[in-house]
Structure 1
Amino acid sequence: MKLYIAEKPSLGRAIAEALPKPHKKHQGYIETGNGDVVTWCIGHILEQAEPDNYNEKYKKWQLDHLPIIPERWQLKPKTKTKSQLTVIRKLLKQCHQIVHAGDPDREGQLLVDEVINFLNVSTHKRENMQRLLISDLNLPAVKRSLTQIQPNKRFVPLSVSALARSRADWLYGINLTRAYTIQGGKVGYKGVLSVGRVQTPVLGLVVNRDNEITQFSAKPFYDVLAHIDAPQQQTFCAKWQPSEACKPYLDEEGRVLSKKLAENVVARITQQPAIIDDIKKQQKKQNAPLPYNLSSLQIDAAKQYGMNAKLVLDVCQSLYEKHKLITYPRSDCQYLPNAQFSMAKSVVGMLASAPIAYSDAAKKADTSLKSKAWNDAKVGAHHAIIPTQKSPANTTLSPVEKNVYQLIVRQYLAQFFPAFIYQHTQVSLTIAGGAFKASANVTEQLGWKQLFANNKGDKQKPEQTQTLPVLNKTDTLYCTHGELLEKQTQPPKHFTDATLLAAMTGINRFVKDATLKSILKDTDGLGTEATRAGIIELLFKRGFLQRQGKLIMATPAGKGLIEALPDVCTTPDMTAKWEATLNNIAEQQANYTSFMQPLEKTLIALIEKASSHVPASLKGIKATVKPAYKQRKRRKKTVAKS
């Protein structure tokens, strides 16, 4: 028999539905009409062993035990899902062919691979194992996927990358959390000081932003506007462009700090002729934004509806698994395979007749247009999140499900609208020897922008400056008066769900090392699409972050921890470099050893540093989470009393 192993029961049922009937449902698996069997994991049914599984002495948290680095890594079955592991073990012995049907990402690849390895499946079966990639749980899509099965060995690099990440997180988290919790106890901090390879740099971003805001001192700066009279009684404004000679009076962003200098310019240009040096007219075009990956969807949902990252992920899982209205949601890709383009007419036709806000837009969509989103070269194990061919007509969606679904629909439909086109005009002037510029944008074709008319999160609007009259270089213009605008520098803003996610995905903006900054791409980030929401929520759960309305700020414990840790742990540089290496492992440009060996050396040095430093910054701060070993002692006492 052929055995399909899915990641979750919902995926298992979808696969079985596409296989021959009749079906026989058993505990933990489904037998199909041709004798093949579909079973499933229930997420991760194996987990990394705890330190005390390697040695009993590690039950007690002591500095002289650190660092704990297993010689032979161990996995152990999760208690709640042991029975399902037993089912899979039995079926693996009976089958002649295995089909790996984990989710189409690194974690999904590792999740089933590690079960196969843990259960000591024969070399012959492992070498002949096949891979089934499913990103849409609707019957026609699953049937298509069943015709496109590939050898599982092609996806081994994904599994290795996920394994390296899992072990790195264990090593880093277990060792540094123990070290700093023990040291924190020496200054009276009676709680867990959780340190993570990804979570701590994220906390560091928030703490650093909070500190920048606290330490910020507003400074005045000055702009000068020239009010210009043009032919036919038309007027417009032009802004002064300080010259090279003014540099000593400017800040690093080119803002004028000297009021006297600005006042002098105002006096000099008033009632003076304005000479046109140049008129540049340029037609500019903006193509539709790409379809969503998970992070870009979470960012837009946060901007548009104030939804946090975890809620968006949960809603997406429901739209995917329960309602089958969207494709696989934990995607880091914003592109689509060319083969999907042939289904566009059907999907758009369904949306045109569906009871949704964008049905009229779907009727106007031109499915002959093929945007840059369709690009096989940029599609990996999974593609962008898009609507499936299933109509929401007979589905009851909650308000948040409806909001997220309609965001996905709109982003998909935008691919079938023409570009947004506008005319950009820039006029360069000389007034009393000073350089001035005026610009304006005029929309020529709204295109895909018509779908985003009331979008709070649309950053793609060209700056709407003013309307410029029709000008010729020979025109005589006149500056009626200059205007001094006094402004104040503004502090950076506290993070929100949207901006913190954006910071995690585009981490190179926060990397300090210039060489590393140049290596990292915009797509290299902290964590993965599937883990970022969980990392943010974990920092709240552990008492390191707090909310004030939509704003995210660090707690005293969060600030104290970041102050206690060395910079290498709190800045994204090291972790961003590791994430880049993990991506390279997945793309076969690096290997497991090249990642793990430097990490272990770094860990040893960090433990030595922690052991020699008492975190005074945590003195007097109340803990919110107690150490695990103290919690176990308290539970034992409670049991004894009862």
Structure 2
Amino acid sequence: MRLFIAEKPSLGRAIADVLPRPHQKGEGFIRAANGDTVSWCIGHLLEQAEPDAYDPAYKQWRLEHLPILPQQWQLVPKPKTRKQLTVLRKLVREADQLVHAGDPDREGQLLVDEVIDYLGVKGAKRDAVQRCLISDLNPPAVRRALERLRPNREFVPLATSALARSRADWLYGINLTRAYTIQGRKVGYDGVLSVGRVQTPVLGLVVRRDRAIEDFVPKPFYEVLAHLLTEDGERFHAKWQPSEACRPFQDEDGRVLSRRLAENVVSRIDGQPATVLVVDRKRKRQAPPLPYNLSNLQIDAAKRYGLSAQATLDAAQSLYEKHKLITYPRSDSRHLPVEHHARAPRVLQAIGASTEAFVEALKVADPGRRSKAWNDSKVDAHHAIVPTEKKFDIARLSQSERQLYELIARQYLVQFMPDHEYYETRVEVEIAGGRFVARARQLIEPGWKALYGQKALKDDAEDAQQLLPALSVGQVLQCERGELVEKMTQPPKPFTDATLLAAMTGIARFVEDAEVRRILKDTDGLGTEATRAGIIELLFRRGFLERQGKSIRSSAAGRGLIDSLPQAATLPDMTATWESRLEAICQREAGYGDFMTQLLTALQALVEGARSSLPHSLAGVAAAPSSRRRRRRGSSAGKGAKRRPRRTSAAGADTQAG
């Protein structure tokens, strides 16, 4: 008997639907006519044991116990899903062949692998486990996936990376949360001070942004425009480009802060001749944006519809599992396999049948066009989020589901539309020894941008709203007058759902160390596609973040926590570097042992730092009600685990994870 172990019931049912009928439905499984059986996890069936499973003394939160470092890692069944684990235990014993059908990502790989390990599958049976990668729950796609099973051992690095992440989060969270909560009580803070490897640097981003806003002092700065006239009476303007000699009068962004300097330039150019030095006119093409991964979808949904990261994830999951209208949503890829291109006509037909929004665009879409989205070298376990071939009346969807489907459909449809084309012109002139530049952009072909409405085309025009006359190098113009433009520097904007997600995915921009920025060039990011929304929501639940309209701001407790921690724990540098190393494990470029050794060294130093100081910044700060309630229950970090756990060896993780 062949047993498929899916990550969740919806995926299990999708697999069963393509197996021979009639089906026998049992409690927690479906058996096909040929004997093949499908069962499933319900998310994680197992979880890391609590500290007191390693030593009963750890039930009490005490500084002298820290750091808690398990020598033999333990997993325990989750109480609410223990019954399904029993079902799987029986089926795994009966099965001749196991097929891992977890979601196509790191978490999905580990989730099923840890169940197979926990149930004691060994030897030839363990070596023969196959992997089924399903990213579309419609029957044709599931059949294709079942025809392309791969050896599960190919995915050992994926599971090992997820295992390292899971254990790192446990070690970091358990030890530092206990350390700072204990110290917080000494200054009167009545709540759990939750510290996390990812959540705390995210909180640090918001706290630092809020303080930059509060400390901001606006300053005037000055620009100079030269209003120019040709011999034929055509007018345009050019902007002064300060020379190197002006640098002492500029800020770090190159803005001129001296009004006197700008006034002097205005007086010097009034009525003076202007000589054209450069005329650079280029025809440019802009390819369509790539299809969505989860983070980009969340960012666009927040910008366009004000949806939170979690609301977007929930709606996308419903489109995938319930309606089967999109492919796997927790993807970090923005590319598609080349073989997927052959399905384009059917997917485009489904988009046209499902929504009226793209009727005109579909008339000009060319299914034979292949954008740079199709690239096998950038696709492994999962691909970009795209519509499926299923036709559906999207009027039956909820508002957020309909909004997301249209976003995803549009991003797919533009792959088959012409490039956006325009002329870009740059003119450089010299006036009284100073250099002035004018820019303009002229539309040739709207192409795919037409699908994003007039605003997208208008945004282009904002770079160069004027029309430039035909000019030639050496031509002499007249500067009719100089104009002094006074502006004020603006404070940074508060984070929103969209900008905070963008900061988490492009964290290298917030890293100060140049070497770390270099390392993170290709693998930057705080958290994963699947966890970023949950991290943001967790900070809200724990009272460290607050919403003010669309803005995300830090609370007094959030600021107090950041002020209490060593800077290394609040900056993205350390954990972003760890994310890079976890990705290196996936790519077989690094090992579990090295990663954990580096983590433990850093953890020891952080615990010692917590011992040696008190979080005085939290004195007098009220804890969020949810945080106080959690502490009085003992906190999940301090609850006892009364079940007998199975032990797994950290030293053997590289071989046991996959």
Q: How does the TM-score come out when normalised to structure 1?
A: 0.97
Assess if the C-alpha contact under 8 Å between 1:227 and 1:238 holds in 2: yes
Q: Which residue of 1 aligns with 2:212?
A: 212
CA distance in 1, matches of 2:32, 2:102: 19
CA distance in 1, matches of 2:394, 2:295: 29
1:300 aligns with 2:303: no
Alignment deviations for residues 97-142 of structure 1 (CA, whole Å, 9 cap, x no partner)? 0000000000000000000001111322110000000000000100
Q: Which residue of 2 aligns with 1:36?
A: 36
Assess if the C-alpha contact under 8 Å between 2:187 and 2:615 holds in 1: yes
Alignment deviations for residues 371-422 of structure 1 (CA, whole Å, 9 cap, x no partner)? 0000000012100000000012277101111000000000000100111111
Q: Secondary structure at the match of 1:73?
A: strand
State the one-letter code of the partner of 1:252. Answer: E
- The worse-fitting range, judged by mean Cα deviation, of 552-561 and 418-427 is 418-427
Q: Which residue of 2 aligns with 1:334?
A: 334
Assess if the C-alpha contact under 8 Å between 2:449 and 2:456 holds in 1: no
CA distance in 1, matches of 2:609, 2:77: 35
Assess if the C-alpha contact under 8 Å between 1:60 and 1:629 holds in 2: no
Q: Secondary structure at the match of 1:233?
A: coil
Structure 1 position 308, deviation (Å): 0.4
How many pairs does the alignment contain?
A: 633
Q: Which residue of 2 aligns with 1:639?
A: none
State the one-letter code of the partner of 2:531. Answer: T
For residue 631 of structure 1, the aligned residue among 616, 630, 633 is: 633
Q: Which residue of 1 aligns with 2:646?
A: none
1:463 aligns with 2:463: yes
Q: Which residue of 2 aligns with 1:345?
A: 345
CA distance in 2, matches of 1:179, 1:510: 27
Assess if the C-alpha contact under 8 Å between 1:131 and 1:150 holds in 2: yes
Q: How does the TM-score come out when normalised to structure 2?
A: 0.94
Alignment of 1:421-440 (within 5 A): 421-440=421-440
Assess if the C-alpha contact under 8 Å between 1:239 and 1:436 holds in 2: yes
Assess if the C-alpha contact under 8 Å between 1:59 and 1:629 holds in 2: no
Alignment of 1:579-590 (within 5 A): 579-590=579-590
Structure 1 position 352, deviation (Å): 2.5
Alignment deviations for residues 133-192 of structure 1 (CA, whole Å, 9 cap, x no partner)? 000000010011111000000011100000000000000000000000000001000100
Q: Which residue of 1 aligns with 2:546?
A: 546
Assess if the C-alpha contact under 8 Å between 1:23 and 1:32 holds in 2: yes
Cα distance change on mapping 1:227 and 1:339 into 2, 3 Å: same
Q: Secondary structure at the match of 1:626?
A: helix
Structure 1 position 357, deviation (Å): 1.0
- The worse-fitting range, judged by mean Cα deviation, of 449-458 and 209-218 is 449-458
Q: Which residue of 2 aligns with 1:310?
A: 310
Q: Which residue of 1 aligns with 2:478?
A: 478
Unaligned runs of 5+ in 2: 636-658
Assess if the C-alpha contact under 8 Å between 1:310 and 1:534 holds in 2: yes
Cα distance change on mapping 1:377 and 1:301 into 2, 3 Å: same
Alignment deviations for residues 70-109 of structure 1 (CA, whole Å, 9 cap, x no partner)? 0100010011100000000000000000000000000000
Assess if the C-alpha contact under 8 Å between 1:323 and 1:395 holds in 2: no
Q: Secondary structure at the match of 1:159?
A: helix
Assess if the C-alpha contact under 8 Å between 1:524 and 1:580 holds in 2: yes
Alignment of 1:48-127 (within 5 A): 48-127=48-127
State the one-letter code of the partner of 1:308. Answer: S
State the one-letter code of the partner of 2:372. Answer: K
- The worse-fitting range, judged by mean Cα deviation, of 514-523 and 68-77 is 514-523
Cα distance change on mapping 1:45 and 1:454 into 2, 3 Å: farther
State the one-letter code of the partner of 2:633. Answer: Q
- Structure 1 stretches of 4+ with a deviation exceeding 4 A read 454-462
Q: Which residue of 2 aligns with 1:357?
A: 357
Structure 1 position 629, deviation (Å): 5.2
CA distance in 2, matches of 1:547, 1:559: 15
State the one-letter code of the partner of 2:285. Answer: K
Structure 1 position 348, deviation (Å): 0.9
1:417 aligns with 2:417: yes
CA distance in 2, matches of 1:579, 1:552: 24
Alignment of 1:7-26 (within 5 A): 7-26=7-26
Q: Which residue of 1 aligns with 2:173?
A: 173
Assess if the C-alpha contact under 8 Å between 1:368 and 1:416 holds in 2: yes
1:372 aligns with 2:381: no
CA distance in 2, matches of 1:408, 1:240: 43
State the one-letter code of the partner of 2:221. Answer: F
Cα distance change on mapping 1:409 and 1:289 into 2, 3 Å: same
Q: Percent identity?
A: 59
Structure 1 position 472, deviation (Å): 2.5
1:597 aligns with 2:597: yes
Q: Secondary structure at the match of 2:430?
A: strand
Structure 1 position 517, deviation (Å): 0.9
State the one-letter code of the partner of 1:506. Answer: G
CA distance in 1, matches of 2:473, 2:457: 39
Alignment of 1:373-522 (within 5 A): 373-393=373-393, 396-454=396-454, 463-522=463-522
Assess if the C-alpha contact under 8 Å between 1:353 and 1:359 holds in 2: no
Structure 1 position 470, deviation (Å): 1.6
CA distance in 2, matches of 1:65, 1:376: 50
Cα distance change on mapping 1:369 and 1:594 into 2, 3 Å: same
Alignment deviations for residues 459-481 of structure 1 (CA, whole Å, 9 cap, x no partner)? 77772331111222354311111
Structure 1 position 69, deviation (Å): 0.6
Q: Which residue of 1 aligns with 2:642?
A: none
- The worse-fitting range, judged by mean Cα deviation, of 6-15 and 222-231 is 222-231
CA distance in 2, matches of 1:62, 1:458: 61
Unaligned runs of 5+ in 1: 634-642
Alignment of 1:121-200 (within 5 A): 121-200=121-200
State the one-letter code of the partner of 2:286. Answer: Q
**Structure of greater relative contact order (alpha carbons < 8 Å, 6+ residues apart):** 2
Q: Secondary structure at the match of 1:415?
A: helix
